[in-house]
């Protein structure tokens, strides 16, 4: 006979704060909810907003771990609300917005602005020589293994968890974060990108770049896409040290 377990009552302690409301103070507000089968934080938060408090602010788009907009701090760790099952958490769940990024209100932050700044700074697009941009020519074939490797790194959804989970990024505002370093590693692999290590050194060869990383590996441990951040940062570090000690 299958055992019927009584549903748990979950207590959500949610950080409420709207920096645009003058005099508003950060505080924790509690909500209670009966746990349902297969409940994610996405489902729970929507239920709270629908039935208990319409003023609660949080972001969602895809509900499938693809858009990266639902990232928040879950019991102290950055993660995606839509990919987090309540059954893997305790009966009391603390939710807070991601640090580092501009706070909109409650659990909603603007990661887009930060990511755009990072992309512009690191020029995260394929750089081709002008004369090679010939739209009529058939593109060179890419080795499938290499394409696979690039694709692996391209899975980043820019959710910002790695930045929020990084002690270095927390302390130093100009640090590019694992997301940025991973992107450089990705374009470095791409044979269409004509940039050399000399060019990459100009982008990340200082304490705001790869040498700022103190190998705390918070990024690696919280990335919801399980990107190989530890390996990529170590690899980039070796290449950049080589570049920096060469000339």
Partner 1 sequence: MNSTQNVIAGVGLADRPLKSRWPARMDFAQSASGLVLGLFMWGHMFFVSTILISKDAMWSVTKFFEGYFVLGVSYPGVVSIVVAGVLGLVMFHAFLAMRKFPANYRQYRTFIGHRRFMAHEDTTLWWVQVVTGFLLFFMAAVHLYQMMMHPGDIGPYGSADRVWSGRWWPLYLVMLFAVELHGGVGLYRLCVKWGWLEGKDANASRRKLKAAKWVLTVFFLVLGLATLGAYMKIGYEHRAQVGEKYTPAWAVPAPKEKAQ
Residue numbers at the binding site for partner 1 (CB under 8 A) = 73, 76-77, 99, 165, 167, 170-172, 201-202, 205-207, 211, 214-218, 221, 228, 230-231, 234-235, 237-238, 240-241, 243-245, 247
Our finding on whether 60 is near ligand FES (CB under 6 A) is yes
CB of 144 to partner 1, least distance (A): 20
Residues facing 15 on adjacent strands? 28
User: Please, which residue, 74 or 82, has the CB nearer to ligand FES?
Assistant: 82
On the CB side of 159, CA atoms within 13 Å amount to: 35
CB of 236 to ligand SF4, least distance (A): 11
Separation of alpha carbons 236 and 206, rounded Å: 12
User: Please, which residue, 39 or 118, has the CB nearer to partner 1?
Assistant: 118
Binding-site partner at residue 33 among ligand FES, partner 1, ligand SF4, none, CB < 5 to 8 Å by type: none
> Under DSSP, is residue 102 helix (H, G, I), strand (E, B) or coil?
strand
Our finding on whether 216 is near ligand SF4 (CB under 6 A) is yes
> Under DSSP, is residue 119 helix (H, G, I), strand (E, B) or coil?
helix
Separation of alpha carbons 204 and 28, rounded Å: 39
Residue corresponding to tokens 């290590």: 197
Residue 88's CB is within 10 A of a number of other CB atoms, namely 7
Our finding on whether 85 is near ligand SF4 (CB under 6 A) is no
The one among 67, 189, 208, 217 contacting ligand FES by CB under 6 A: 67
Q: How far is CA 81 from CA 20, 102, 117, 141, 156, in A?
A: 24, 18, 25, 39, 16
Residues facing 93 on adjacent strands? 12
Residue 246's CB is within 10 A of a number of other CB atoms, namely 9
CB of 9 to partner 1, least distance (A): 24
Q: How far is CA 116 from CA 51, 153, 180, in A?
A: 36, 18, 11
Q: Which of residues 137-156 bind ligand SF4 (CB under 6 A)?
A: 156
Binding-site partner at residue 238 among partner 1, ligand FES, ligand SF4, none, CB < 5 to 8 Å by type: partner 1
CB of 36 to partner 1, least distance (A): 28
Query: What one-character-per-residue DSSP string does 40-78 give?
Result: BHHHHHHHHHHHT-TT-----S-SSSSS-TTEEEETTEE
Our finding on whether 81 is near ligand SF4 (CB under 6 A) is no
Our finding on whether 218 is near ligand SF4 (CB under 6 A) is yes
CB of 121 to ligand FES, least distance (A): 24
Q: Which residues bind ligand SF4 (CB under 6 A)?
A: 156-162, 166, 168-169, 177-179, 182, 213-219, 223, 225, 227, 233
Positions touching ligand FES (CB under 6 A) are: 60-63, 65-70, 80, 82
């Amino acid at each position: 006979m299958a055992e019927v377990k009584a549903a748990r009552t979950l207590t959500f302690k949610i950080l409420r704060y709207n920096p645009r409301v003058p005099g508003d103070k950060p505080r924790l507000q509690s909500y209670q909810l009966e746990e349902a089968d297969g409940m994610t934080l996405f489902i729970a938060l929507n239920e709270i907003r629908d039935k208990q408090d319409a003023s609660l602010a949080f972001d969602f788009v895809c509900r499938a771990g693809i858009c990266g907009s639902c990232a928040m701090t879950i019991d102290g760790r950055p993660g995606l609300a839509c990919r987090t099952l309540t059954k893997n958490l305790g009966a009391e769940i603390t939710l807070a917005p991601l640090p580092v990024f501009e706070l909109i209100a409650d659990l909603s932050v603007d990661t887009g602005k930060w990511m755009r700044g990072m992309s512009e700074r690191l020029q995260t697009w394929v750089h081709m020589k002008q004369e090679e941009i010939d739209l009529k020519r058939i593109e060179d074939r890419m080795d499938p293994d290499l394409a696979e490797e690039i694709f692996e790194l391209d899975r980043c959804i820019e959710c910002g968890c790695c930045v929020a989970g990084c002690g270095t990024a927390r302390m130093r505002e100009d640090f590019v974060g694992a997301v940025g370093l991973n992107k450089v590693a990705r374009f470095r692999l791409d044979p269409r990108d004509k940039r050399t290590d000399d060019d990459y050194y100009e982008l990340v060869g200082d304490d705001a770049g790869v040498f700022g990383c103190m190998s705390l590996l918070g990024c690696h441990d919280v990335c919801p896409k399980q990107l190989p951040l530890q390996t990529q940062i170590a690899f980039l570090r070796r290449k950049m040290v080589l570049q920096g000690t060469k000339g």
